[in-house]
Amino acid sequence: MLMEADGEAKLLAGGQTLLPVMAFRLAAPAILIDLSGVQELKGISIDDTGVRIGAMTTWRDIEDDQRLRTAAPLVSAAIEHIAHYQIRNRGTIGGSLSHADPAAEMPGVVVACDACLEIVGSNGMRSVPANEFFLGPLTTCLSADEVLTAVRFPPWPATRLWAFEEFAQRRGDFAYAGIALFHETGATGLVENAHIGLIGATSVPRRLGVAEAALNGRRLDGETIAAAAQLASSEADAEDDIHASAAYRKALVGTLLERALKAAAERAEAL
């Protein structure tokens, strides 16, 4: 159908983004293709290759799956910041990723986690790393005849330290900025494999490479944290909008990274 519609059709997942957009008359697709009956797109499976979440899995189902708290803790932690429970009952992970709003939580999380996106189209199946999937604000590499079918997260080592921090005006709002972070600690006690996903305060979901580099190989002391926060601030490419200045959002990124690093360290002590 997608192919036949020749760009005139839109896939309908939970409708929590698409329907408001249509109500505002910003989109008026001639055909809506409802994916809710496609069972193959729903469900969460976990094995030693990692976690696979079907595109049509709702936020609610992800939130309720206790296994994810250890198998993909950043995913679990992010969910409670996504909208309100009524919206989480309908909204899907596939809809959110396909919509590619840089202010949404999950795009930042999948990028931070080196997840892969599974896509099916007229040319068959392909798998795209998250950092290549998002091209710009509300833009992905999906072509008009393609459907996102699942997102696949690599296995999560039990010793990994992580934290999710965001700041929104009200609970459930899109955040001014957010940080999805993990790293490991080597035998020497130095930071390894730092991954920092940036949410909001950016035009495209992405990692903060400069700040990551400033952490790797360092001991996580006050000086390292402050330096990384500083770099994260300048690395964020926020813009002014009606809610906040770019300067505020950039400063916030630094603050959130600092808080995330401390929260991750506290988690280490609790281990």
Ligand X SMILES: Cc1cc2nc3c(=O)[nH]c(=O)nc-3n(C[C@H](O)[C@H](O)[C@H](O)COP(=O)(O)OP(=O)(O)OC[C@H]3O[C@@H](n4cnc5c(N)ncnc54)[C@H](O)[C@@H]3O)c2cc1C
* Site residues, ligand X (CB under 6 A): 10-18, 20, 35, 55, 82-83, 87, 91-92, 94-96, 98-99, 104-106, 142, 147-148, 172-174
Tokens of 225: 């944290």
Nearer to another protein, 141 or 168 (CB): 168
Report the nearest approach of ligand X to the CB of residue 267 (Å).
Answer: 23
Cβ of residue 20: shortest distance to ligand X, in angstroms? 6
* Distance set, CA 235 to CA 15, 116, 268 (Å): 33, 24, 27
Interacting partner of 94 out of ligand X, another protein, none (Cβ under 5 to 8 A depending on kind): ligand X
Torsion angle of alpha carbons 52, 11, 89, 86, nearest 10°?
140
**Residue 176 binds which one of another protein, ligand X, none, with CB within 5 to 8 A depending on kind?**
another protein
Nearest approach, Cβ of residue 25 and another protein (Å): 8
Which partner in ligand X, another protein, none is near 248 (CB below 5 to 8 A by kind)? Answer: another protein
CA 246 to chain centre: 21
Choose among ligand X, another protein, none what residue 10 binds, the Cβ cut-off being 5 to 8 Å by kind: ligand X
243 binds, among ligand X, another protein, none (CB under 5 to 8 A by kind): another protein
**CB of residue 165 to another protein, shortest distance in Å:** 10
21 vs 190, beta carbon nearer another protein: 21
Contact assessment for residue 29 and residue 9, using Cβ atoms and an 8 Å cutoff: yes
Strand partners, 117: 128, 151
- Please report, as ranges, the residues that interact with another protein according to CB under 8 A: 20, 24-25, 84, 167, 169-174, 176, 242-245, 247-248, 251-252, 255
CA quadruple 258, 260, 266, 271: dihedral positive or negative? negative
Q: Which long-range contacts (CB under 8 A, 24 or more apart) does 209-215 make?
A: 209/235, 210/234, 210/235, 211/235, 211/257, 215/183, 215/191, 215/261
CB of 111 to ligand X, least distance (A): 13
Token code pair at residue 240: 């002014």
